[in-house]
């Protein structure tokens, strides 16, 4: 465990408490990084596309296998 975790006392937390802390830190980063107009528009576009074509998806296992195949080249 890194010395900063020990300094902060994080090593004394349970796994569940560490996960909760990590989630809180992650959420705080989202708050500290405002969404630009361009990103908001892109997210809106993607959501609209998904809602218009809910069956146009690729299962995770297929994506994972495709990535593994590409990495093997």
Encode pLDDT of 27-52 as tens digits: 999 888 888 999 999 999 999 999 99
Buried b (16+ CB within 10 A) or exposed e, 5-38: eeeeeeeeeeeeeeeeeeeeeeeeeeeeeeeeee
CA pair distance 24, 55, nearest whole angstrom: 33
Looking at the chain, the whole-number percentage of residues with pLDDT higher than 70 is 99
Mean pLDDT for the stretch of residues 10-27? 94
Split at pLDDT 50, 70, 90, the class of 6 is confident
CA pair distance 5, 16, nearest whole angstrom: 16
CA pair distance 36, 42, nearest whole angstrom: 10
């Amino acid at each position: 465990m890194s010395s900063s975790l020990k300094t902060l006392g994080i090593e004394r937390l349970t796994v569940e408490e560490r996960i909760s802390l990590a989630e809180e830190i992650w959420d705080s980063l989202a708050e500290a990084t405002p969404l630009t107009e361009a990103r908001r528009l892109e997210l809106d576009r993607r959501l609209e596309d998904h809602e218009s074509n809910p069956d146009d998806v690729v299962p995770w296992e297929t994506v994972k296998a495709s990535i593994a195949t590409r990495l093997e080249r």
